[in-house]
Amino acid sequence: MKQSPQFTKIQEQMKPGVITLDGFLGTDTRNLIDILVEDDGTVRRLGLTHAQIADRMEYFRQKGLDGLGEFIHIDSSFDVRVDSVRGGASLTVRWAWDVSESEYDRPKSPYRKRGHLHGHAYPLRT
């Protein structure tokens, strides 16, 4: 799909070192519009909605506030850390697995990069 100049500008802002040190797209060099279209297809194939995913991330953020700055174990499958960042929060969610398990035995998810799911710039609400 052809990417608009507006999406190109947004993608430039998502690169490492512009808004955040690590950026938002990892090493993926595809156009932002192509990433979004593929991600939307994956969400639909899984029978989910973007709202459901956002609600789950909000759930992790709320639970993670209890351990602000430290990983806490949630729902027997996830380790969550919420860090305070410039008046907002950074959310890190990772699948919890025994370190003795091999890479091939670990849970797989289309949303997982290096075992982590990241969200940025959530306002801290108590």
pLDDT per residue rounded down to tens, the chain (126 residues): 899 999 999 999 999 889 888 888 888 899 999 999 999 999 999 999 999 998 988 998 889 888 888 888 888 788 888 887 666 667 777 765 544 444 444 444 443 333 444 444 333 333
Q: How far is residue 7 CA from its own chain's centroid?
A: 20
Rounded Cα–Cα distance for residues 27 and 117 (Å): 15
Rounded Cα–Cα distance for residues 112 and 107 (Å): 9
CB 64 within 8 A of CB 80: yes
What integer pLDDT is reported at residue 88 of this predicted model?
66
Amino acid at 106: R
CB 89 within 8 A of CB 83: yes
CB 35 within 8 A of CB 14: no
What integer pLDDT is reported at residue 83 of this predicted model?
82
* Mean pLDDT for the chain overall: 76
Helices 32-45, 5-13: inter-axial angle, 10-degree rounding: 90
- Cβ within 8 Å of residue 59, ≥6 positions away: none
CB atoms within 10 A of CB 84: 12
Rounded Cα–Cα distance for residues 75 and 62 (Å): 13
